[in-house]
Chains A and B, each alone.
Chain A
């Protein structure tokens, strides 16, 4: 039961966080957009709440490290070049596609946006294919 209940409570917490952001500020909790709006030029007055949101995320990591260190895994094993390549693809792709797992996958699907449904189906498919190729065709990295 733990295998369902704990992740479900995590998901409910994410849903509440996204709903609270919408209720308080009128914004969608799309993390790639919030990150881009903080670090790329042209953020303007929006930059302060976005930076605060990111600071909240970073702080949650510090709290998790104290309270439930097991939740953070054991670091990335992949070679640096692959880490960088994955980061560039995640950054470029999430901007071209107007969102990532949070904005499309949680908020977008939650408000039944056809664009977000299409985006989520697309990135789930290519991510599953990527894992299949890496793990079962190439035999791991």
Chain B
């Protein structure tokens, strides 16, 4: 059931990205370009996504646990640290260069041409580089992997 749930959630998430126009980088860049011909569609996509999740999250969270797992697994970190801000800043530059973030890139994996596969390979390399660097620096995996049931 865990696997089937993952598949259904991924399928639905990808269709939502497509419907919202986020699988076309031109729409994303059009949103980020305030000095040009501004395209607000990302605002409605985020608004719809955040609105629905915000509305349903408290009710789901009140349950004693999820349907097919023993406990909820939510980010346990609280502090706004340098890593969070520096990482997000670097992520934003990469996102702004092409208008591609991980979700839309994966949706486009088999239908977006070879450059999307190059992007995904480079993304995996960036993640691998981070994991190695993190282990050397702290002697452990990325702190955000430390999830707790109580968040």
Contact = CB atoms under 8 A, between A and B. Distances in A.
A21 B118 CA distance: 28
B42 to A, nearest CB: 8
B contact patch SS? helix
A3 interface: yes
Interface residues of A, number: 113
B94 A88 contact: yes
Interface of A: 3-4, 6-29, 31-33, 35-36, 39-40, 42, 48-65, 68, 70-76, 78, 80, 82-102, 104-115, 118-120, 122-132, 134-136, 141
B75 A115 contact: yes
Interface residues of B, number: 116
29 contacts: A6-B20, A8-B48, A13-B13, A13-B16, A14-B45, A16-B52, A20-B12, A25-B9, A28-B74, A33-B144, A39-B127, A60-B10, A64-B111, A68-B19, A71-B19, A73-B23, A73-B24, A73-B27, A89-B91, A89-B126, A90-B95, A90-B123, A94-B91, A95-B142, A97-B84, A98-B142, A115-B77, A123-B92, A126-B89
B35 A61 contact: no
